[in-house]
Amino acid sequence: MELDLDKVRAIRVLGRGAMGTVFLVADRSSSSSSSGLKLFAMKVFEKGWAKKPGADRRARWEVSVLSRLSHPFLPRLVAGPVETPELLAWGLPFCPGGDLNALRHSLSDRVFSPSAIRFYLAELVSALAHLHSLGIVYRDLKPENILLGADGHVTLTDFDLSRHLHRSPKTPAPAPSSSPLPAPPRSSHRRNLTRILFASADPHGAALKKARSARVSPVSRRRTSFETEAAAETERSHSFVGTEEYVSPEVVRGEGHEFAVDWWALGILTYEMAFGRTPFRGRNRKETFRNVLTRHPEFPASSAPTSPTSSPASSPRTPPAASASAPAPTTSRPTPSSAASAGTCSPPSPGPLPPPLDDLDHHLLSPADGFDVRDYFKRLRDAPPPPPSDTPLDSSASSSLTDF
């Protein structure tokens, strides 16, 4: 569907992030009555106000990924993209059920039942396996990025940190050599991170507290192109990306990573759904990363459910190198009958838990309601700056990383 900014009206803001603002919008050209309005989510990237390095490239990459997807548990482009000198916008399906994190917190005990965990894992395995079949590693799996439709089925979102990796054909192993193999390229931010994690001279992690954002931004990713990385059966990335409690050991170590990082994150997600917290969270980022590298996950006996699956985070700890080379799960494992096979059909039945649906009332909408997103951003740009705060910002309170 062609996206015409003159014909869509934003009803409200659904969310804001480093890579854009998401609006719930109505297509005024689709109907003259409120009941027939076409509603969808529209993500808008404002070019001139992007603060992250490479943000424009990442926004365009996300659009490129979405244009290739066709799977019941992955989003698709429903409109656009459209570009103006100031904005890049594209349309996505509207998921009125919120995200998996909000659903878990709506439960009285803040944990899912084993049957619900199996259901969500089956759909996520199907989605991730489909991405991997396209050569795309997701790299940002977390509950906040798992949206729920009105029927309770999942949809992954936010693909700006994903990456395409080439699967090289298998080649014979090289003959033994007395010369050591060259070490993979390591950027300065990874060397600094390793020094911070293990240096005794910095007991309070002051250097690490300089980080300011929950995503580990790929600052040096422009220097880790496909051509510069070591050849392997599957190409590896040396970018340092992800959410701190979900990053795998090989990412923390800067040893290079590939598709297995998604399965590691799925294990962390499994633990969080079962126990209400992630297994390696520390008092600060420094401790969290050290836990990822050295700590065994704890399984509270009083609240341990029947194990819904096996994963790097819910099985005996494996060395980082092993997790990087572990075989990926496949969709051939037993799954709930309501989970659709990868790319073959739409989900036939509702999910195990009815999500708290958006309170949108179609009867209060008309084609004239809402606002123009271009006016929205113009007002933001023209607004006077806020007065300086008397309270200094505590950078250690932020939950994401941008400076490595």
From the annotation, which residues make up the binding site for ATP?
Answer: 43
Q: Are 260 and 326 in contact, with CB atoms under 8 Å apart?
A: yes
Structure tokens given for 380: 């933001």
Name the E strands within 106-179: 136-137, 146-148, 154-156, 163-164
Q: Which of 27, 56, 99, 140 is catalytic?
A: 140
Q: Are 379 and 188 in contact, with CB atoms under 8 Å apart?
A: no
In terms of Cα–Cα distance, which of 178, 147, 61, 116 is closest to 306?
116
Question: Up-side HSE of residue 155: CA atoms within 13 Å toward CB?
Answer: 26
Q: Are 103 and 150 in contact, with CB atoms under 8 Å apart?
A: no
In terms of Cα–Cα distance, which of 244, 240, 249, 246 is closest to 400?
244
Degrees, nearest 5: CA angle 400-133-63: 55
User: Which residues sit in the known binding site?
Assistant: 43
Active-site residue, 140 included: yes
Name the E strands within 209-248: 215-216, 242-243
Q: How distant is the alpha carbon of residue 402 from its chain centre?
A: 15
State the Cα–Cα distance between residues 299 and 20, nearest whole angstrom: 38
Q: How distant is the alpha carbon of residue 218 from its chain centre?
A: 14
Degrees, nearest 5: CA angle 143-148-154: 75
Degrees, nearest 5: CA angle 179-182-186: 155
Active site residues: 140
